[in-house]
Amino acid sequence: MLLAIDTSAGTAVAAVAGNGRVLAERSTADTRRHAEVIGPFLAEVLAGADAEAAGGNADPLTGVVTGIGPGPFTGLRVGIAAARAVAIARGVPLLPVPSHDAVALDLIEGGVAAGRFCVVTDARRREVAVTEYAASLPVPSVVRSARLEPRLGFAPDEGVVLYEVTEIPATALAHVAAARLAAGATFPDPQPLYLRAPDVTMPTGPKRVTS
């Protein structure tokens, strides 16, 4: 069983059994309450999943999947911090997955996307985060990894269909990780895809207070 956590858009938590069956799932599109809802969501999903495993209806937890963004930093960090904590608490590996991969898999499996397409999420400050894919299974192939583009005037290359979403499906995030594990594929580092340097103003020397 895999537990998947993503806070790159709203907050999404899901537990998926080894056979792909969704055991428990909670999500909200709210982009302002990650640190609040992560607690109850995790408690409900883990309680449901642990009960299924205890009853012999599912395998025990074997990994924690963390959506590494891109996404607004403050919220994104909450889910990654939580996933890292669950992994050390349960003694299972952390499996980092770019959040857009989950959306891409959902679009391909749902028969929505085919050929070349891109997944777009809000990056605030009039920018969007864009990842370009080629439809493939079991794992979508990344044609161009995540980048920022101005929201106004951004158009994908010809023939590339754009899908903008406001939520990341945690179940699909778990499915991507399971497919990577099954294929023996590697996972990226568990670092957030910030795509932007921190906001800082370099000191220019003390400002005069007298004229």
Partner 1 sequence: MNTDNPLVLGIETSCDETGVGIVRGTELLANTIASSMDEHARFGGVVPEVAARAHLEALTPTIEQALETAGVALADVDAIAVTSGPGLAGALMVGVGAAKALAVALEKPFYAVNHLVGHVGADLLRDDEGELELPTIALLVSGGHTSLLHVRSLTHDVELLGETIDDAAGEAFDKVARLLGLPYPGGPHIDRAAATGDPRAVRFPRGLTLPKDLEKHRYDFSFSGLKTAVARHVERMRDDGLDVPVADIAASFREAVADVLTAKAIAACRDLGVPRLLLGGGVVANARVRELAAERAEAAGVALRIPPLSLCTDNGAMIAAIAAQRIMAGHEPSSLDVAADSTLPVTVVQA
Instruction: Judge residue 170's burial from the number of C-beta atoms within 10 Å of its C-beta, 0-12 exposed, 13-18 middle, 19 or more buried.
Output: buried
Neighbours of 55 (CB within 10 A): 8
DSSP-assigned states of every residue in 159-207: TPEEEE-S---HHHHHHHHHHHHHHT-----S-----S--------SPP
Number of residues that bind partner 1 (CB under 8 A): 40
Binding mask 14-53 for partner 1 (x = CB under 8 A): -------------------xxxxxxxx-xx--x-------
Q: ω into residue 96 within 30 of 0, thus cis?
A: no
Rounded to a whole number of angstroms, the minimum distance from the CB of residue 97 to partner 1 is 17
Contacts with partner 1, 179-198, as mask; x by CB under 8 A? -------------x-x---x
In the bound state with partner 1, the residue whose beta carbon lies nearer, of 152 and 202, is: 202
Report residue 162 CA to chain centroid gap: 18
Quick check: 152 binds partner 1 (CB under 8 A)?
Answer: no
**Helix-helix angle 73-90:34-54, to 10 degrees:** 30
- The neighbour count for residue 47, using CB atoms within 10 Å, is 12
| Distance in Å, CB of 5 to partner 1, minimum | 8
Give least dist CB 126 to partner 1, A. 19
Question: Which lies closer to partner 1 via its Cβ, residue 56 or residue 198?
Answer: 198
**Distance, CA of 8 to CA of 167 (rounded, Å):** 8
Which residues within the stretch 61-120 sit at the binding site for partner 1 (CB under 8 A)? 73-74, 77-86, 88-90
Closest CB 76 distance from partner 1, rounded Å: 9
Nearer to partner 1, 90 or 147 (CB): 90
CA distance 40 to 200: 34
Name which of 14 and 46 has its Cβ closer to partner 1: 46
Instruction: Give the nearest distance from C-beta 112 to partner 1 in angstroms.
Output: 32
Does position 144 interact with partner 1 (CB under 8 A)? The reply is no
**DSSP secondary structure, 94-106, as one string:** EEEE-HHHHHHHH
d(CA 73, CA 94): 20
Site residues for partner 1 per CB under 8 A: 7, 33-40, 42-43, 46, 73-74, 77-86, 88-90, 192, 194, 198-203, 205-206, 208-210
